[in-house]
């Protein structure tokens, strides 16, 4: 029996996150898609997401898998689902995978992207997708701080309370800060002019880990703490209480398969 792997985009603004919640708390992305799968397959289908994004977090390349209970042609699943889904959730592709495939447990890594608006005059269209800081950060200092996070570390002090995880060791493979210049582009495309973009790739991420990292990097960028304070956070010496970055600036870009598997 095959498993179907979906690649999914969503604007997280109007959802309470990926994971299905008890009724009455708002709609999750998982629930919205499972409701459509039920319409297509005639019975409840459980969808397994690779990354359980928080309320407000967006995705360009979320992956999820399910076991189809009817032999609908895989080539038509994406279009059939998109015809039923709300416009802010889109199935980019649906492919058949081997029966041992599982979107979450087969994943070997993820790429997240965080966007910050440094310009004081923010854009009326980007507010849904960027942390509207409206202040210029010391990006060089942030890059210096980022170095302390590369590689394998115990990230328990970058993990929010409430995670059932026991093993906090994760590997950050890359952590890059860039300021792409779109000012030459037609600003009519509602693009921010010079956003600060933080790209982070790792073999797995703890609960709110990327948002902890970004919040603390921003504190470095604001000169509230020093770059080397990032090492202190890792060992639990918290130089200053720093909030996590808001969810709306975060996008799950891609989930990687193949290679060594580590869940979450």
Q: Dihedral of CA 13/17/23/24: which sign?
A: negative
The residues near 179 (Cβ < 8 Å, ≥ 6 apart) are 118, 139, 194, 195, 196, 197
Half-sphere exposure at residue 239, Cβ-oriented, CA atoms within 13 angstroms: 15
Q: DSSP assignment of 107-139, as one string?
A: EEEEEEEEEEE-SSS--TTTTTTSEE--S---H
Least distance between a copy of itself and beta carbon 225 (Å): 27
Site of interaction with a copy of itself (CB under 8 A): 9-11, 58, 60, 78-79, 82, 87-92, 113, 120-125, 127, 129, 132, 187-191, 251, 253
Closer CB to a copy of itself, residue 9 or residue 69?
9
Least distance between a copy of itself and beta carbon 262 (Å): 24
Least distance between a copy of itself and beta carbon 119 (Å): 11
d(CA 121, CA 161): 35
Residue 11 falls in the annotated catalytic set:
no
Active-site hit among 11, 35, 54, 100? 54
Least distance between a copy of itself and beta carbon 64 (Å): 14
* Contact criterion met (CB below 8 Å) for 12 and 59: yes
Closer CB to a copy of itself, residue 106 or residue 126?
126
Please give the positions annotated as active site: 54
């Amino acid at each position: 029996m095959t498993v179907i792997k979906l690649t999914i985009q969503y604007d997280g603004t109007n959802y309470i996150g990926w994971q299905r919640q008890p009724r009455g708390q708002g709609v999750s992305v998982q629930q919205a898609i499972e409701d459509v799968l039920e319409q297509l397959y005639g019975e409840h289908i459980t969808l397994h997401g690779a990354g359980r994004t928080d309320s407000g977090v967006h995705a360009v390349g979320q992956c999820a898998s399910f076991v189809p209970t009817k032999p609908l042609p895989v080539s038509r699943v994406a279009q059939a689902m998109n015809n039923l889904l709300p416009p802010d959730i889109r199935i980019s592709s649906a492919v058949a995978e081997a029966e041992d495939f599982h979107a979450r447990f087969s994943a070997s890594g993820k790429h997240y992207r965080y966007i910050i608006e440094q310009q004081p005059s923010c854009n009326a269209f980007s507010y849904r997708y960027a942390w509207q800081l409206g202040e210029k950060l010391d990006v060089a200092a942030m890059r210096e701080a980022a170095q302390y996070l590369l590689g394998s570390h115990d990230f328990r002090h970058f993990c929010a309370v409430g995670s059932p995880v026991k093993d906090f060791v994760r590997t950050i493979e890359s952590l890059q800060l860039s300021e792409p210049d779109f000012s030459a582009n037609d600003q009519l495309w509602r693009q921010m002019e010079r956003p600060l973009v933080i790209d982070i790739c790792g073999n797995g991420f703890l609960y709110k880990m990327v948002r902890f990292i970004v919040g603390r990097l921003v504190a470095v960028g604001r000169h509230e703490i020093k770059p080397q304070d990032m090492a202190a956070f890792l060992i639990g010496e918290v130089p200053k209480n720093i909030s996590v970055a808001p969810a709306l600036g975060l996008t799950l870009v891609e989930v990687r398969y193949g290679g060594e598997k580590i869940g979450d």
